[in-house]
Amino acid sequence: MQISLTVNGKAVNAEVEDRTLLVDFLRNHQRLTGVHVGCDTAQCGACTVLVDGRAMKSCNMLAAQAAGSKVTTIEGLAAEDGTMHPMQAAFKQHHGLQCGFCTPGMVMGACELKGRNLNDEQIREALDGNICRCTGYQNIVKSVKAGLAAMK
């Protein structure tokens, strides 16, 4: 099947099998390996991308379902000159990562929260579908708070 979508600001036309998952399309066809495959069951959130501004788990979505949409991956957040997105910078500044495997999904999920003024508990609840096996989430919450403040 033929699909057309925008990935990280660039128009993409591709032929994919009907059953191709969005995560596989992004990683294997577009070479965007910042989209991680963790559980393959939409439990961990490592594959989270923005689809038309909404955080979606790309392992639970067919590439065909994204046809006509704007998809943003972690690679598409930074400015053309390499300047980090405010949420990426906040994760770096506040040590919101340890091994880094969950980080792209956490950052993408946090970006969906733009414009919201959330307390620690609300941030934890909003990122509930993103699992980090290394941290106690303290620095992730600090990072999200700082990132949201910087995105205002």
| Average pLDDT of the segment spanning 126-139 | 88
CA distance 64 to 46: 20
| Average pLDDT of the segment spanning 4-19 | 97
- Give the domains, in start order, of the chain with CATH numbers: 2-76 (3.10.20.30), 86-150 (1.10.150.120)
- The pLDDT tens digits for 26-39 are 999 999 999 999 88
Q: Is the pTM of this model over 0.85?
A: yes
Joined tokens for residue 19: 């059953």
What pLDDT shows up at residue 28? 96
| Average pLDDT of the segment spanning 15-33 | 97
| Average pLDDT of the segment spanning 147-152 | 94
On whether the CB atoms of residues 83 and 20 are closer than 8 A, the answer is no
On whether the CB atoms of residues 47 and 37 are closer than 8 A, the answer is yes
Judged against a pLDDT cut of 90, whether residue 141 lies above it is answered with yes
Q: What is the dihedral of CA 87, 88, 89, 94, to 10 degrees?
A: 80
| Average pLDDT of the segment spanning 13-33 | 97
Report how far apart, in Å, the C-alpha atoms of 133 and of each of 71, 90, 112, 113, 130 are: 26, 20, 22, 22, 10
| Average pLDDT of the segment spanning 63-85 | 96
| Average pLDDT of the segment spanning 131-147 | 91
What is the three-class DSSP state of 72? strand
Confidence of residue 122 (pLDDT cuts 50, 70, 90): very high
What pLDDT shows up at residue 38? 87
Confidence of residue 4 (pLDDT cuts 50, 70, 90): very high
User: How does the average pLDDT of the chain come out, rounded?
Assistant: 94
